[in-house]
Structure 1
Amino acid sequence: MRLLVLSVALLACVSMAGCASNSNPVAALSIKPSAETTSSVSKSAPVPAVEVGESAIKGGQETLAWAGAMPATHAFDAMTETQAVVPEEKPARGLLNMSRPLPKRSRVYSQQFRDAHPINFGKRAPKHYQVHGVDVSRWQGNIDWARLRTQGANFAYIKATDGGDHIDPMFRKNWDGAKAAGLKRGAYHFFYWCRTGAEQADWFIRNVPRDPDALPPVIDVEWNGQSKCKKRPSRAVVLEKMKAFMDKLERHYGKRPIIYTAPDFYEDNLTGELKDYPFWLRSVAAHPSVRYPNRRWVFWQYSGSGLSHGVDGRIDLNVFAGSEDEWHNWLAGQSS
C-alpha cells in the first residue's frame, strides 16, 4: 500500500514538472500593463491654460486691435502689479509640437548689407555669423520685402506697439509683407515706464496676432530721453514691471519673450538678472561679450546705420548667435 501511494505521488510530480517545462516562458513572464499613467512632460507645444487679453476673432481669423476697443485694464488689489498678473503656471519652453510636421527649412541668404558708419569689430565681426536680419518701424517707410530678403534679411523684428495706447502705423503692412516674402518675423513692444506692465501687455496682445510660426515677442527696455515719461524707476520696480508684462505675453503666445536692451539700461537694471530669459543685445561699437560680460544672447544688433536695397534710408542690422543649422533648430523649437 505504501509502495502504491509513493508510486502515484511520483507519477503526479513527474507530470506536473512536464507541464511546467513545456509552458511558454514568454507567456509565463508576460504581465498586463498597468492602467496608471505617469506625470511626464507633454511633448506637445505649450497651450495657454487661460486666455489673457481677448483677441478679436472674425471669420476664424484673428484681427488686429485697431478694429476694436481697448480691453479693460486689470483691477489691482495689492501693492505690486506682479501679484495681480503673474500666471500660476508657465508653459514649457523649447518643446517641439509633435502633432505638427516640422517646418520646412527656408533658404538662408548671405548678407550683402552696407553700413554708413562701418565699425572694425575685429575677429568676432558680424560678417562671421551666418544668419543676418533686420528690425524695422514706420521710419523705414515702404519696404520692398522681397528685395530686402535677398540682400540677407532672413528675419525681421517689426515695431508693433508703444506703451498702452500707441501702435506703429506701418505694423500691419510690414507684418504681412515680411511673411509674404518668406522672412521669419516677430513683433516688438517699446516699454513705457509710466504705465503698468499689465496694461502694456493687454495692448500688445490686442494688436499682435498669435501666429504659431512667428518669432517670440520682444520687450524693448531702455532709457529714452525723448519720451514724455521721464520716470527712471528703481531696479526692483523695473524688474517687477517687466515680469508682469512678460508673464502675460508668455501665457498668451506660448513663447518666452526676448528682452532687447542697450548697455546703459542693462548696467542699471539687468546685470545678473533674468538669466532664464533670452536676450537681444544692442552693441554697435564692440562685440556683445565686451559690453555685456557673461550674458548669453540670441540676437545681436550691431548697427543702426545699415544700408540695403529694398529700403530707403538707414536700417538696423542684426545677427543670430548660432550657425545656419542652429538657426533652423532654434526655429523648430519655437514652433507652437
Structure 2
Amino acid sequence: MASPSLLVGQPLLAPLLPVLAQTYDVIALWDAPGPERLATVDALIWAGEFPLDRTLMDAMPRLALIACFTVGYDGVDLALAHSRGIAVTHAGDANAEDVADHAIGLMIAHRRWIVEGDRHLRAGHWTIQAKTRTHSMASARLGIVGMGSIGIAVAQRAQAMKMQIAWWGPRAKPQLPWPRTQDLGALARDSDILVIAARADESNRRMISAPILDLLGPEGLLVNVARGQLVDEAALIDALKAGRLGGAAIDVFDPEPTDPTHWSNVPNVVLTPHIGGATHEAVGRMAQMLLANLAAHFGGTPLPSPVRD
C-alpha cells in the first residue's frame, strides 16, 4: 500500500522533511511540483501565518488535512477548508509559555530602559552627574488584549510581578480571576501597558487603531506578540513620532520581514524579529504535535489539536 502523500508548503519547514519522509511520501512546494504530483497530495503541511491560496487547494482534489506546523492558522480560509471537508490542525499551545516570556521581556526591556540604556552606555553618554530614572513594574496597570493561552500565561507572570491586570476579548470568561473591561477602548485608556495576545483574522485587522493608541496615551506602552496585522502600523509610527504614544515593543509586523528603514527614525521602540515563540523547546513540541495530528488523521483516530471554527 502506498504511503500517504504530504505537500510541505514553505522552505522554513524544510528541516521537517527527513522526519516526515520516514513515514510519508513528501513533496516540497518550493520544488514546483506539477499538476499530476499535486493531484496525489493527501495532506498539506503549512506555516499558518502565510496565506494559503485557493488555487493551490483547487490543485489538490485529494486534500483531506491542512496541518499547520505553527500555533497560528490565520492564513488558512477555515470556512473554505471545512466546506470541502478538509480538517485543519495546529500546534495548540505549544509555544504559549515562551511567547509570554518574550512579552514580559519586551515590557521590561522598554519600561526599564534596558535596550536604550545599553546604547547609552556604549555611546559614552553615562556620567556620574546624570542617571536615567525609569518606572517600576510593580503596580503598573497591564491590559491584555486576547485571553487565550498566551494571554493567560502573560497574566500569570505579571501577577507574580505585582502588576494590576485587566483584559478584554470578544467572549467573557467567568472562570478567569482577572476583570474583563467593557471594551477595547476602556482597556487602553486604563492601562499603562497594553499587550496584544489576540488571535488574528479579518474581523480584527488593525483593531489597534489611532484612536486606541491615543487612549493608551503619551505615557503608555504597546507590546505586540500576536500578529502584525492587528496593529495599524502607520498609525503606530505616527503616534510614536508625534509623542502621542509613550512607546512600543514589537515582535510581529505587517508584512514580515519588516523593512528596517521603516523604523530608522522612530523613537521609543524596541523591536525583535518575530522570535517570541521560536525556542528549541517550543519547536520540538510543535513538531511532535504535527506528527501526532498526522498519525491520528491517517489512523482514523481523533485529532489532538483540531481547529473547529
Asked if these proteins are the same fold (TM beyond 0.5), I'd say no
Please tell me whether Structure 1 or Structure 2 has the larger radius of gyration of its CA atoms: 1
Pick 1 or 2: higher relative contact order, CA cutoff 8 A, min separation 6.
1
Q: TM-score, normalised by structure 2?
A: 0.30
Give the number of the structure whose residues are more often helix, by fraction: 2
Q: TM-score, normalised by structure 1?
A: 0.29
